[in-house]
Structure 1
Amino acid sequence: MKKLYSVTLMMLAAALIVAGCGSKSDNSSTESASPHNSASSSASASQPASGEKVSISFWTLNQGWEWVEPAIADFEAANPNIKVELTKYEVDPIKEALKVAASSKTLPDIWFTWGGTLGSFYPENGMTMDLTQTAKEHQWSEIYNKAAIDMSTYGGKVSGIPVHLNVLGMWYPKSVYEKLSLKAPTTFAEFESQLQALKDAGVTPMAFGSKGGWHTMRLTEQLIETFGGAELHDKLNSLEASWNDPAVVKTFEKLKEYTDKGYFPKGYVSLDPTEAENLIYTETAGLINEGTWFDGVIAGQGFDNKKFGVFKFPNDQKPSRASVFAEMFQINGASDPAKQAAAVKFGEYLTSADVVNKYIEQYGSPATLKVTLSPNTPHLKEMLDSANDGGFLITDQALPQEVAQKLFEAQDKVALNEWTPQQAAEAMQKAAEAYKSKK
């Protein structure tokens, strides 16, 4: 699977720009030869029997998915024999809810999840529908970005319907940067100089909340890329190199340094990322590491996203890679065939060019090709372009989950002076060895 990711990420730049170019040059091409582009068309080789009523349960996120209720209403109107039962969660709660449901064999019929090791658990344990034949018959290669399909594939089998292909960057309120006469940094030294300039001006440099671990992780992975380079970073994520490496120690040292200098919000170790996000809106913080979805989040909170800027983390590597990841819908392999057919039809509908174009301002960064990007998501193309030189799979999808959890623990313990940076690196390597010994 790691080899697949390596190949995928090498192709990411080309794949992303194809998606961006398609959206620009094919503004009228919301109609496709694909059968799933119409709500009333066949979406699976097997369909519910005519007139048979089917109810499917659907779990997805809360934030950024405000558009899904009207989309479901349209789908149900066009498919009166299918009822969609929607449940929405925040980011960490949906991960926990899916784990609990998996252990109790009560998974929904279709659910939202991430790629990498977050999504791989379900197909690896035989819990998802194999969509390989569906992908072939419905010509997914002409509908979805290839990188997104690859990131939804495990063991050679397509396990998810691609929804988003995301790229991360550093967002900032333009007014804060303008007041301090700052411009987007192009080197790591410039980035660190700006952190101190923000702090000196009474602005919290980075609005990070470490509750759950993944928000701070986005900085940790960029520091590893900065100090260790792309080759070592990839080997660390594939557990082919020792985490007890000087570059990893230096990364934890830098996290400790930033903590001691007050570059994070007070009490950030237990701060919820959504609370940290509010510091950006009030212009009391200078930077936040978010992705291609953030235009919609800013607008959804009632703020003008054009008053914010974004830059690629300056990790001093050549080529400079961005952090990327995919999101998808998976379908319950234990559901009866009628429910599975309805779930496929529904998942393909939500990711069709018609639906994406209708809700493009809130949709985020679609994995669907031949869509029209909105002027109200002004940073989307810029962020997609930032991955033209390549990308690395975001850490909590690249690492096995138990190793990723150890990273979250290590970040916090270093910040709280419970572990030295060296001890954190040693703990990471022990976790990696323990995982490999089980395999």
Structure 2
Amino acid sequence: MKKKILLVVVMALLVVSAFAGKVTIWSWRTQDAEVWQKIEALLKSRGHDITIEFTAYAPTEYDSKVNLALQTGTGPDIVYSRRLPGGRTQVLIENGLYLPIDEYVDLTYFPQASLNSVTWQNKVYGVPFAVQVVGIFYNKDYYDQFGLKEPTTWDELVANAEVLKKNGIDPFFVSGKEAWTLTMQHAMAGVSVLGPEWIKDLTEGKTNFLDPKFTDLNRRLNDLKIYYQNGFMGNSSVDQDASFAFGQTAMVFYGIWGYQTWKQLNPDIHVGYFMVPPITADQKPYAYTYLDGAIAMTSNVKNMEDSIEILKFCATPEFGTIFAGVTYNIPAVTGSTLPPDPVLQEALEIYSNHASPYVYWVGSVFTTQKPSLYDDVLSPGMQEMYAGKLTPEGLSKMAQDAISQWYPPLMNK
């Protein structure tokens, strides 16, 4: 009997020692590996014997891997979580698979808007790590070469594309193979072409997706595809990064997170940025901005003490400075120092002063239930429209039919 007890104790000690000092972190962001290397070195220099094991999975596989691992007890200590409200994160919280962190972590350096995206029933489930700014990024050398200016209207954008095309340069690279990039394109155009007031009216049920303005936006995007690269429906965002970085295309509809990759591929590239222009010059352009996600502690945590230590550090401006310096993303934590890069500084200015207060993609009410405007309407719908299988009017009807099933303000409209 004593031998059995001793064996159990030894095995327990072996299990504890296997995880002592090691914290496992899962993410969908491969570009963050160097961030965690720097944080591990910094924490060790301050006397914390912590080893960080960082693993990044493909974004298309990440959520299912996290969900399965946490339910089977094989998940990591820390995960990158999606934002609230609704969606996968809320389900994981309701099932007890993410742990609240507010009693351990000082969240003083975060604006309430960021904390709202990680709060459920007055508990905070993660440290926000980045805010994203999306829009049109362009090759400044091409714009200079052909005397082009940043467009202030949609027609000026089309005119720029026409000049580039006539000179043998693909005006836009679009990753049609990845439906989320098309949804993002629609959403970033919507905040300027439709405007935040229209989106507010949509949210309140004062208009709906059958409004001619929404169909007009669909048509404008569909008409723009003559300026995309040949075979764009078969290309991915990886293809896009290479094409844009090496000057094979002039513009991309993307987010600031791509900037780091382009600079790594081609340090000599000169990148500019502008918000998707509205229809007329008297309209104000807006940018789609959103919280990228949060760093959360899971119920599978095996090394809680060191995991909490890491989360505490993630809530400091020092973390934000490291994060921005490596990824060229805007950190969610305030008080950080950003690299002296004009594109990053412009993105920060856009986020601070030109963010649309109303949206219909990430962070909107229209993505909180099924069918979701993101996953079930715009993702397949944009691909079908670009492939010629769905008309702009059909995409509007698809959106109205889906969302009116469950969103009360749009029912019976």
- Alignment TM class, shorter chain as reference: 0.7 to 0.9
2:350 is matched by which residue type in structure 1? S
**Structure 1 stretch displaced more, 244-253 or 66-75:** 66-75
Q: Which amino acid aligns with 2:25?
A: F
In the other structure, the counterpart of 2:82 is 114
**Percent identity over paired residues:** 18
Q: What's the offset of the Cα at 1:355?
A: 3.8
Map 1:400-411 onto structure 2 (within 5 A).
Answer: 400=368, 402-403=371-372, 404-406=374-376, 407-411=378-382
Instruction: Using structure 1 for the length normalisation, give the TM-score.
Output: 0.76
Equivalent in 243, 246, 250 of residue 282 of structure 1: 246
Structure 1 pair 161/335, CA: closer, same or farther in 2 (3 Å)?
A: same
Cα separation, 2, equivalents of 1:420 and 1:274? 28
212-221 or 232-241, which moves further after superposition? Answer: 232-241
1:412 aligns with 2:383: yes
Is 1:312 the counterpart of 2:279 in the alignment? Answer: no
- How far apart are residue 346 of structure 1 and its match? 1.3
1:366 and 1:169 map into 2 onto residues whose CA distance is 18
1:222–1:315 CA contact under 8 A, matched in 2: no
For 1:240 and 1:114, locate their aligned partners in 2 and report how far apart those are by CA, in whole Å.
Answer: 30
Q: Assess if the C-alpha contact under 8 Å between 1:67 and 1:362 holds in 2.
A: yes
**Per-residue Cα deviation, 1:25-63 (whole angstroms, up to 9, x for no partner):** xxxxxxxxxxxxxxxxxxxxxxxx999925432112344
The residue that corresponds to 2:158 in the other structure is 192
Residue 194 of structure 1: how far off its partner (Å): 1.3
5 Å matches for 1:52-131?
Answer: 53-74=20-41, 77=44, 78=46, 81-101=49-69, 104=72, 106-116=74-84, 117=86, 119-131=89-101
Is 1:329 the counterpart of 2:297? The answer is no
Deviation at 1:184, TM superposition (A): 0.9
Counterpart amino acid of 1:432?
I
SS of 1:243 mapped into structure 2: coil
Instruction: Kindly indicate whether residue 331 of structure 2 is the aligned counterpart of residue 366 of structure 1.
Output: yes
Distance in 2 of aligned mates of 1:107 and 1:51: 15
Distance in 2 between the 1:411 and 1:424 partners? 8
**8 Å contact 1:209–1:273 — kept in the other structure?**
yes
Higher relative contact order (CA 8 A, sep 6+): 1
Once the 2 structures are TM-superposed, how far is the Cα of residue 64 of structure 1 from its aligned partner? 2.3
Residue 73 (structure 1) shift = 3.3
CA distance in 1, matches of 2:179, 2:313: 33
Q: CA deviation at 1:315?
A: 2.3
Q: Of the candidates 322, 329, 345, which is equivalent to residue 309 of structure 2? A: 345
After the TM superposition, which of the residue ranges 404-413 and 200-209 deviates more from structure 2?
200-209
- Amino acid paired to 1:101: A
Contact 2:199 2:360 survives alignment (8 Å)? no
**Using the alignment, how far apart are the partners of 2:158 and 2:94 within structure 1?**
42
Paired residues, number: 381
2:367 aligned with 1:422, yes or no? no
Amino acid paired to 2:93: P
Q: Aligned with 2:103: secondary structure?
A: helix
- Structure-2 residue corresponding to 1:389: 354
CA distance 1:92–1:74, change in 2 (3 Å)? same
- C-alpha RMSD of the superposition: 3.1
- Unmatched 5+ stretches in structure 2: 1-15, 409-413
Q: Which amino acid aligns with 1:378?
A: P
Q: In the alignment, is residue 176 of structure 1 matched against residue 146 of structure 2?
A: no
Question: 2 CA distance for matches of 1:356 and 1:330?
Answer: 13
Contact kept? 2:133, 2:347, Cα under 8 Å: yes
Match of 1:132 in 2: 102
Instruction: Give structure 1 stretches of 5+ with no counterpart.
Output: 1-48
C-alpha distance in structure 2 between counterparts of 1:166 and 1:240, whole Å: 29
Distance 1:436 1:99, change over 3 A: farther
Deviations 1:225-282 (A, max 9, x none): 34433133245468885323322222222232122x2x22222223211211222122
Q: Which amino acid aligns with 1:324?
A: T
Aligned equivalents of 1:95, 1:420: Cα separation in 2:
31
Query: Do the aligned partners of 2:170 and 2:249 also contact (CA within 8 Å) in 1?
Result: yes
Q: Between Structure 1 and Structure 2, whose CA radius of gyration is higher?
A: 2
Task: Give the equivalent residue in structure 1 for 2:197.
Answer: 231
Secondary structure of 1:396's counterpart equals coil
Q: Quickly say closer, same or farther: Cα 1:327–1:287, change in 2 above 3 A.
A: same
Distance in 2 separating the partners of 1:241 and 1:158:
34
Q: Is the 8 A contact 1:57 1:86 kept in 2?
A: yes
Deviation at 1:339, TM superposition (A): 3.1
